[in-house]
Amino acid sequence: MKPVAVWISRYPLIAFYVICYAITWMLWVPVMAERSEVAELLAAAAVFGGPGIACLLVARVAAQPAHTSRPVPFRLALFGAWIVCAAIFVVNQALTRPDIPVPALVLFVLIAVIPAILLAAATSGAPGVRHTLSSLARPRGHWGWYLLALLLPVAMRLVSVRLAHLLGWRMLTDPAPAWASLRQWATVVVIFLYTLIYSGGLNEEIGWTGLALPRFLDRATPLFATVLVWAFWMLWHVPLHLAGYFELNQHVLIGSFFGRFLMTWLYIRSGGGIWTAMLLHASVNVTSQFVPVTNASLMVDGAVAIAVLIAGRMWRHPGECRMAQGTRRCTRDRAN
């Protein structure tokens, strides 16, 4: 085995973050220096695939293969996934940015191969990769956890808006309403699908939740594991913040901190379902585009995060509640 492969096998978590940051930050440097179409294209490619590509590389080398179903031919899976990802991208651009230049649209359609590779790898390719991403192809646990991941951010934001009205607090954002017609409802659905694939769902959570979280849970309590995942997640956004594309304000930092506890809790409750984190992350991002943010948002987010922290007893020793990699349930060691 080559030295780099040995290092990845021995330190998969460190390798994942090093590779992820190297890929992403290298492509974000041009957009930090100069805003141009080429620089923005590179920045988008980094967002689309940085954590995911790092996940695939590490999983291929470090993950222990497991007995999985017969793989689908990779080219067939890739072609099907690419058609879906490209179609979602084109329809989203047609609804939200109809003036996008045709050459740029073609380039972005080609870039759609990146999330397509991530989806195709869940059912084909190296056994170690299929093992790590198995819950993408066959979601684990009860479907209710996935529905909760989808709807909880919407409910929390609506409650926070109502609470802000009762307290007389002003809205901090004023997003355009999107509830007036069926066409607007269709737009919300398309934006959600786009976000789920390209902007906070598959493109990020395949790495943060699919690879990093279970390995942290092998070594730490869910509470500490969540803090670690959140810290490295926010650090990853720093170049975008410096370039002016992403604002790391108190609402983003504190709100994402609380949100991470919901992701960890849902991941454990679903038996290791990556889709729970993807759906919740995408739902949070899309909800912010249509429902105002208020000072009450952090109050509601914090209350829900504390509730799941207590309900899940996330401070307990990992031996008492550990998500075993590749299993379909949260295993509990009651020896103590």
Q: pLDDT averaged over the chain?
A: 84
pLDDT for the residue numbered 14 = 95
SS (H, E, C) the chain: CCHHHHHHHHCHHHHHHHHHHHHHHHHHHHHHHCCCHHHHHHHHHHHHHHHHHHHHHHHHHHCCCCCCCCCCCHHHHHHHHHHHHHHHHHHHHHHHCCCCCHHHHHHHHHHCHHHHHHHHHCCCCCHHHHHHCHHHHCCCCCHHHHHHHHHHHHHHHHHHHHHHHHHCCCECCCCCCCCCCHHHHHHHHHHHHHHHHHCCCHHHHHHHHHHHHHHHHCCCCHHHHHHHHHHHHHHHCHHHHHCCCCCCCHHHHHHHHHHHHHHHHHHHHCCCCHHHHHHHHHHHHHHHHHCCCECHHHHHHHHHHHHHHHHCCCCCCCCCCECCCCCCCCECCCCC
Is the pLDDT at 175 greater than 80? The verdict is no
pLDDT one-digit tens code per residue, 280-313: 999 999 998 888 888 899 999 999 999 999 999 9
pLDDT for the residue numbered 226 = 97
pLDDT for the residue numbered 49 = 80
pLDDT one-digit tens code per residue, 74-86: 888 899 999 999 9
Is the pLDDT at 88 greater than 50? The verdict is yes
Is the pLDDT at 103 greater than 50? The verdict is yes
